[in-house]
Amino acid sequence: MKPAQFDYAVPTTVEEAARLLAESNGDGKIIAGGQSLMPMINFRLVKPSILIDVNRIAGLNRIELVGKRVRIGATVRHHQTASDPLIAKHLPVVHDAMQHVAHVTVRNRGTFCGSVAHADPAAEMPMVTRFLDGTIIALSIRGERRIPAADFFVGSLVNSLEPDEMVLAVEIDVMPDEAGWGFEEFAKRHGDFALAAFAATLRMDNGRARDVRIGMMGVGEVPLRLPEVEEILEETQLTQGVLQAVAEKLNDILTPNTDIHASADYRRHLSGVLAKRALRSAWVRAGGRNE
Ligand code: FAD
């Protein structure tokens, strides 16, 4: 299909981008990598009056350490995140998750912030941003606004940006050096959107798990952090019994959809399998024994 007619602007400063967005009265769309937006425009699922292309704005393509946070700018491509040394050192679970995102051609254009803004519940970057409690830095003509990830993802493909706000960057606290992590997903083919994914980070204190964080995607309308599961694991040793309790808890609390790719029952079962694998990796990387 062909898109409906739209204007196209290529601002060179963030101020200009924010002004153009404000002037579009909610009809304009930011375009970053275009990997999700262009298919939607071609199918006429969205009909923006203007596309505001942020790719020529200098400085947005950086991954930086800002104090104890990693800041990922609006035009950082997936391939950059996948190979960036700061990400590998300070956010290794993000590094691992990124290896599952799409295929090389998509990763050469698609952006971290574009994926977060797109808010697909089966996308890896929204999931890691949510479960690591990242912050979305929004910009409009009124200035910057910091949105906790817990408040950002409000539905499938729906975020809490105002119509005149763009994502300037995403910031995520660095993981402690001693933290272990695990990321597991199942997709029918590598690079396809996953049926489900499970991520965990934890550290070890006196042989017990502490500061456990659990995230999941593909099993709800938004990416999830799961405090109910974290509670089970906090201050325990990762025995078979604990892993089984986690799988049973997931089975109780998750309400995934049935669709053409998998049934809800299958996704619940898959969640338990992925949880066991990811938690074992996190435990061993944190210094625990592999039993
Ligand atoms: P765009 O397509 O440019 O924009 C997407 C949406 O976000 C639009 O609504 C746009 O207006 C908005 N947006 C973009 N940037 C901003 C901003 N700075 N501020 C405000 N709004 C903004 N993703 C995965 O996570 N996992 C996968 O396995 C996966 N597989 C894929 C396979 C294929 C074949 C394709 C085509 C895509 C796949 N994707 C996958 C999606 C890919 O990661 C996209 O690149 C990503 O979802 C969107 O990033 P983008 O930069 O291309 O955004």
Q: Classify residue 132 by its DSSP letter.
A: T
**Residue 42 sits in a domain of what CATH number?**
3.30.43.10
Residue nearest to atom 1 of ligand 1 (CA): 34
Kindly report the number of other CB atoms within 10 A of residue 10's CB atom.
15
Alpha carbon of 128 to ligand 1 centroid (Å): 15
Residue nearest to atom 26 of ligand 1 (CA): 101
How many structural domains is the chain composed of? 3
Per the structure block, which two tokens stand in for 54?
A: 């942020």
Alpha carbon of 3 to ligand 1 centroid (Å): 18
Say if 123 falls within a structural domain: yes
Asked if 81 and 167 sit in the same domain, the reply is: yes
Say if 291 falls within a structural domain: no
> What was the ipTM of the complex prediction?
0.98
Q: What pLDDT does residue 189 have?
A: 87
Residue 181 contacts residue 285 (beta carbons within 8 Å): yes
Q: What pLDDT does residue 225 have?
A: 98
Alpha carbon of 110 to ligand 1 centroid (Å): 6
User: Reduced to 3 states, what is the DSSP secondary structure of residue 159?
Assistant: strand
Asked if 107 and 209 sit in the same domain, the reply is: no
Say if 272 falls within a structural domain: yes
Alpha carbon of 122 to ligand 1 centroid (Å): 12
Alpha carbon of 111 to ligand 1 centroid (Å): 6
- Say what the pTM is: 0.97
Asked if 11 and 27 sit in the same domain, the reply is: yes
Asked if 162 and 86 sit in the same domain, the reply is: yes
Asked if 189 and 281 sit in the same domain, the reply is: yes
Say if 1 falls within a structural domain: no
Asked if 73 and 167 sit in the same domain, the reply is: yes
**Residue 159 sits in a domain of what CATH number?**
3.30.465.10
User: Reduced to 3 states, what is the DSSP secondary structure of residue 255?
Assistant: coil
Strands 196-205 and 153-155: unpaired
Atom number, ligand 1, closest to the C-alpha of residue 165: 20
Q: Per this entry, what is the length of the chain?
A: 291
Strand-pair partners of 50 = 7, 28
Alpha carbon of 237 to ligand 1 centroid (Å): 39
Dist. CA 26–CA 113, nearest whole Å: 19
Say if 290 falls within a structural domain: no
* pLDDT tens sequence across 11-33: 999 999 999 999 999 999 999 99
Pocket of ligand 1 (CB under 6 A): 29-37, 54, 74, 101-102, 106, 109-111, 113-115, 117-118, 120, 123-125, 166-167, 191-193
**Residue 253 sits in a domain of what CATH number?**
3.30.390.50
Asked if 164 and 184 sit in the same domain, the reply is: no
Asked if 97 and 154 sit in the same domain, the reply is: yes
Per the structure block, which two tokens stand in for 201?
A: 């980070």
Site to probe by mutation for ligand 1, drawn from 10, 79, 118 as the one with most ligand atoms within 8 Å of Cβ, is 118
Residue nearest to atom 33 of ligand 1 (CA): 102
Asked if 76 and 108 sit in the same domain, the reply is: yes
Question: What are the Cα distances from residue 8, in Å, to 13, 90, 97, 117, 259?
Answer: 15, 37, 33, 20, 36
Alpha carbon of 59 to ligand 1 centroid (Å): 20
Residues spanned by the domain of 15? 7-56
Spans of the chain, pLDDT less than 50: none
Q: What pLDDT does residue 1 have?
A: 75
